[in-house]
Amino acid sequence: MIKTAVKHPDKKSHTGSYSAGVIANGFLFISGQGPLNLATGEVISGTIEEETLLTLSHIQKITEAAGGSIDNVVKCTVHLSKIEDFDRYDKAYASFFKSILPARTTVQSVLADGIKIEIDAIVALK
């Protein structure tokens, strides 16, 4: 199996020992993304809706850097700092995708730096 790392095209600050994405066997596996300023690595705090849409835009940019389309996201795992935000996050999440919604798991988790959401994704590239 051949693996290829994919970087976020706008990310200037490194925040850990991981690849933003890895291509393997026709799929792109995107590491957990959050609402960050990619130039500084600082958290951009906002409403759950704002943080959801910003996080999904990071996933979209990594997907496009790998030659894929956000329409081909097949699975997301979502971590919310407060499960009480589910309905508001769900509405923002659903508004982002224009085709078939990806399969999804959503859980409540303790998240670093006060972020409200973290999302990882799997994208079919072929």
Contact 15, 41 (CB under 8 A): yes
DSSP 36: B
For 72-108, write each residue's pLDDT tens digit: 999 999 999 999 999 999 999 999 999 999 999 999 9
For residue 50, give the amino acid letter. E
d(CA 59, CA 55): 7
The pLDDT assigned to 6 comes to 93
CATH number, position 10: 3.30.1330.40
Q: Return the H-helix or E-strand segment holding 5.
A: strand 3-6
For 15-52, write each residue's pLDDT tens digit: 678 889 999 999 999 999 999 988 888 899 999 999 99
Tokens (6 digits) for 71: 């329409």
The pLDDT assigned to 108 comes to 98
* The model's pTM: 0.94
CA distances from 105 to 11, 85, 108 (A): 26, 15, 10
The domain of 114 spans 3-124
Number of domains in the chain: 1
The pLDDT assigned to 15 comes to 65
